[in-house]
Amino acid sequence: MSGDWLFIHIRQTAPIPLRLQLNVRPGELLALVGPSGSGKTTTLRAIAGLYQPRYGFIRCNDDIWLDTHHGIRETPQQRRVGVVFQDYALFPHLNVLEHLTVAMDTGTPASRHAEALRLLEIVHLKGLENRYPRELSGGQQQRVAVARALARQPRILLLDEPFSAVDQMTRQRLQHELARLRRQIEVPIILVTHDLNEATALADRICVLHGGNALQTAVPDVLFRRPLSPQVARLTGHYNVFTGEIVEHDGRTWLQWGHHRLEIATSPPLPRGTLVDWFIPDSDIILHRRGRPSLGERENPIGGIVEECVTLGARTDVTMRCHGTNEPLRLQLNTHAARRNAIDIGEEIRVSLLADGIHIMNPVDYERNSGTVY
């Protein structure tokens, strides 16, 4: 399979608003995440040639698949894309082997047969060649859909929520198989999912879509620790987004949050007095152990009253109302740590906000940007 780059630029306001620009390199897996109606599937369909945006430019290496300005629009057949549909879209009247051979357009019947068997072995379906879709489990159907997409020798692979129709156990197994499979194919892969954990586990980069806008595209670590805007932080499941003010003291830049002056490791070049949104991930909020102070407690210590305490198996979600700001700060603790520290509603607790974890979102970036590529 060839190593093609994919470049996508789509812009329209109606009927479905879309505004995004993406690059995907060979072998890279880009996940499109966002709430329902954010434009994930429409974007995927536009790439496949199943939907034509009002203004758009899509290029795969040197081949222009879509250029609305010059009236170029290649058909799905010409684009040579492999698509795994949400419900797999298997043909009920074809058996597993025929699903693969029907998608092949090169070679002799014998070579197609051999290639189909090879692909079936890759997706662990050897021995099921003669079965029909109704005779397969959900996981097996999904594998047939993947094998059919690969049988086309696609230049790009598009996966539209491929794990949504299977149970949790099967999903994990299929995700593992996809992670293994993608090491064997050198084409750009785009995965549409609403599951952030799935995107984080599988994707090299994640693009967050909302209302048809690509809000941020970044590697998972950057996305989760350095969201571009409060909206991205919330869409990626983070709650600890607050407003503060940039201040200077002793020649250094600090963040004023209510009565607290917070030490920060880095800050965008913003003038003193600027009101900013800031964010801290759960992993950078450290609970002070009762009766055993440590050096880390000197770093941005904050006290508060536990307002909510929910145990979810091995994890306990705690919401504390902070003194000096009256804002709720959420943190995740191991359940045994919560028990050991007698965390309960109404209890006084103290935490440290690690300076490295405090991320100040530059309003200039997210007011100007949508679709920034990192």
- Which CB atom, from 94 or from 270, has the smaller least distance to another protein? 94
H-type helices in the chain, by residue range?
40-48, 76-79, 96-101, 109-122, 138-151, 168-181, 196-202, 220-225, 230-235, 335-340, 363-368
Minimum distance from CB of 157 to another protein (Å)?
Answer: 11
Minimum distance from CB of 76 to another protein (Å)?
Answer: 4
- Which CB atom, from 86 or from 172, has the smaller least distance to another protein? 86
Minimum distance from CB of 152 to another protein (Å)?
Answer: 6
C-alpha span between 221 and 201 (Å, rounded): 11
The tokens for 159 are 């996966």
The DSSP 8-state label assigned to residue 38 in this structure reads: S
The tokens for 169 are 């156990």
C-alpha triplet 352, 247, 330: angle, nearest 5°: 30
Minimum distance from CB of 217 to another protein (Å)?
Answer: 25
- Which CB atom, from 141 or from 231, has the smaller least distance to another protein? 141
C-alpha span between 93 and 328 (Å, rounded): 57
Whole-number Cα distances in Å, 94 to 97, 118, 148, 174: 8, 18, 12, 23
State the residues that interact with another protein by CB under 8 A: 41, 45, 48-51, 75-77, 80-83, 85-87, 89-94, 102-103, 105, 148-149, 152
Minimum distance from CB of 83 to another protein (Å)?
Answer: 4
- Which CB atom, from 42 or from 370, has the smaller least distance to another protein? 42
Maximum pairwise Cα distance, the chain: 78
The DSSP 8-state label assigned to residue 356 in this structure reads: G
Minimum distance from CB of 137 to another protein (Å)?
Answer: 19
- Which CB atom, from 13 or from 77, has the smaller least distance to another protein? 77
- Which CB atom, from 41 or from 193, has the smaller least distance to another protein? 41
The DSSP 8-state label assigned to residue 42 in this structure reads: H
- Which CB atom, from 22 or from 147, has the smaller least distance to another protein? 147
- Which CB atom, from 142 or from 341, has the smaller least distance to another protein? 142
Minimum distance from CB of 251 to another protein (Å)?
Answer: 59
- 178: helix, coil or strand? helix
| Backbone phi, psi, residue 110, to 5° | -65, -40
C-alpha span between 92 and 283 (Å, rounded): 48
Q: How much helix, strand and coil, in percent to the nearest 5, is found in the chain?
A: 30, 30, 40
- Which CB atom, from 21 or from 101, has the smaller least distance to another protein? 101
Minimum distance from CB of 103 to another protein (Å)?
Answer: 4
Minimum distance from CB of 162 to another protein (Å)?
Answer: 13
The DSSP 8-state label assigned to residue 257 in this structure reads: E
- If one counts every other C-beta atom within 10 angstroms of the C-beta of residue 266, the result is 11
Cis peptide before 230 (omega within 30 of 0): no
Q: At what angle do helices 109-122 and 138-151 cross, to 10 degrees?
A: 130
